[in-house]
Amino acid sequence: MTPPETSFVPSANIAQLKESATIAVSQRAKALRAAGRAIIDLGAGEPDFDTPALIRKAAQDAIDNGATRYTATEGILPLRTAIAERASALRQRTAGGETITPAEVVVSSGSKQSLYNACMALFGPGDEVLIPTPSWTSYYEMVSLARATAVPVHGKPECGFKVTPAELATSTTARTRGLMLNSPVNPTGSVYSRDELSALLGFARERGLWVISDEIYRRICYDGEAVSSLDVAESRDRLVVVDGVAKAYAMTGWRIGWTISVVPLAKAMTAFQSHTTFNPAAVSQAAALAALTGGAAVDATVTAMVGEFRARRDAAMALLAGEPSIQVNPPKGTFYLFLRAPGAGIVPEAGTAFARRLLEAHDVAVVPGAAFRTPDWIRVSYAAEIGQVESAVRRIIAAYRSA
């Protein structure tokens, strides 16, 4: 049956919105799999581990104990208290005893919603927001949905694509209002050092910019935890820290993220959320609480998962080391490898063409760098079993040689 005709035209709000390239890749990979092809999917942006048993059990108990109703918009107090305590511990390492209170925490349905709340509350028409690039695809769209202008600031490949205050300064105007930070970085796997982060926060402070610091990958880092903005910021006056349970605890489907900000902003974001989605799922909040308060047992599972990611990274990098013509950004965190596509600098959108060829001719799904505004590159996720990662990297090398 043919679908009915429609006169639907997207509203001005979403007319410019682009489909998520990551989701598009995974849908194409699924379609090819359904057609019988043995696709290795390295497009995914989520850990391939199960949520730890202790957390799942806590959620089951919570359902039986009544976590089935609306909660406060900004999340249940025990969860906000646990988040505030962890954040205070980070803050107190450098900022002399400053305590973060539950009133500064807003819990949302995933850190994606937290980021969107922050963009909507802080930015509007006429504002410009600096986005170190390459970066996660949704930042550009969220800033645009807030009707502000996303300003990509490209980092240099030889510096792991990390940006410096001098690079930000060249894109800063009188209209610049915000800076999106993310470390460890999706898609490059780079991690800002304490000094680098401190310099960026200092720059933003001098210019009076709001900083949204997305720290969702902070615990997936191979040389100890990545530095948090809470740990180095001189002041939290214009700082919004975003985090969540998705990546560190393999809880992507539970949809819990949060912001830590000054109280007036927290109230504004709560009001916004109260009219859009209201509280995040009660049972997921109980699960997140178990993750944050699970102590050594939960921490051991995080450490084991990060250890497995490290082993995969090392295996992939060892294979790539035998092929020096492939330029790869050595990842220090996340679970992504960022590779320069063959023909980069000669063929336009070389990463898109290479990603397409990898999928159609070599049965490997990766995300084209165009999704992150770096069309000469591809992102390869190693959130897959180590044997699969190795086979896929061998296929990538073969595809590279035959390019």
Pick the closer one to ligand PLP by CB: 172 or 186: 186
Q: Do residues 249 and 291 touch, judged by C-beta distance below 8 A?
A: yes
Tell me the residue nearest to ligand PLP as measured from the CB. Answer: 110
Pick the closer one to ligand PLP by CB: 252 or 277: 252
User: Distance between CA atoms of 191 and 194, rounded to whole angstroms?
Assistant: 10
Q: What are phi and psi of 123, to 5 degrees?
A: -115, 155
Strands 377-381 and 367-368: antiparallel
Of 20, 92, 171, 252, which lies in the binding site for ligand PLP, with binding defined by CB under 6 A? 252
Strand order in the sheet with 239-244: 105-108, 257-260, 239-244, 210-214, 176-182, 128-133, 149-154
Q: Tell how far CA 284 is from the center of its chain.
A: 19
* Least separation in angstroms between CB 249 and ligand PLP: 11
Which of 7-15, 25-33, 106-114, 121-129 is the region at the interface with ligand PLP (rule: CB under 6 A)? 106-114
Pick the closer one to ligand PLP by CB: 108 or 149: 108
Of 143, 146, 240, 246, which lies in the binding site for ligand PLP, with binding defined by CB under 6 A? 246
Does position 110 interact with ligand PLP (CB under 6 A)? The reply is yes
Does position 186 interact with ligand PLP (CB under 6 A)? The reply is yes
144 contacts: CB under 8 Å, gap ≥ 6: 16, 17, 150
Does position 25 interact with ligand PLP (CB under 6 A)? The reply is no
Of 111, 133, 183, 259, which lies in the binding site for ligand PLP, with binding defined by CB under 6 A? 111
Which of 35-43, 104-112, 196-204, 366-374 is the region at the interface with ligand PLP (rule: CB under 6 A)? 104-112
Does position 112 interact with ligand PLP (CB under 6 A)? The reply is yes
* Least separation in angstroms between CB 216 and ligand PLP: 4
Beta bridge partners of residue 320, listed in sequence order:
none
Pick the closer one to ligand PLP by CB: 67 or 118: 118
Pick the closer one to ligand PLP by CB: 51 or 400: 51
Pick the closer one to ligand PLP by CB: 214 or 231: 214
* Least separation in angstroms between CB 95 and ligand PLP: 24
Does position 257 interact with ligand PLP (CB under 6 A)? The reply is yes
Using DSSP, state whether 401 is helix, strand or coil: helix
168 contacts: CB under 8 Å, gap ≥ 6: 130, 132, 153, 179, 200, 203
Closest CA to 130 of 111, 152, 113: 152
User: Distance between CA atoms of 241 and 114, rounded to whole angstroms?
Assistant: 10
Pick the closer one to ligand PLP by CB: 56 or 394: 56
Does position 182 interact with ligand PLP (CB under 6 A)? The reply is yes
Between the alpha carbon of residue 116 and those of residues 33, 62, 83, 214, 271, the distances in Å are 33, 28, 19, 12, 13
Between the alpha carbon of residue 215 and those of residues 143, 189, 228, 245, 269, the distances in Å are 18, 13, 7, 11, 19
**Overall size of the chain counted in residues:** 403
Pick the closer one to ligand PLP by CB: 188 or 198: 188
Closest CA to 240 of 211, 268, 205, 208: 211
* Least separation in angstroms between CB 398 and ligand PLP: 29
Does position 236 interact with ligand PLP (CB under 6 A)? The reply is no
Which of 47-55, 88-96, 109-117, 394-402 is the region at the interface with ligand PLP (rule: CB under 6 A)? 109-117
Pick the closer one to ligand PLP by CB: 45 or 160: 45
Using DSSP, state whether 156 is helix, strand or coil: coil
Where in 212-231 is the site for ligand PLP (CB under 6 A)?
214, 216
User: Distance between CA atoms of 136 and 216, rounded to whole angstroms?
Assistant: 12
- Site residues (vs ligand PLP, CB under 6 A): 45, 110-112, 136, 182, 186, 214, 216, 244, 246, 252, 257
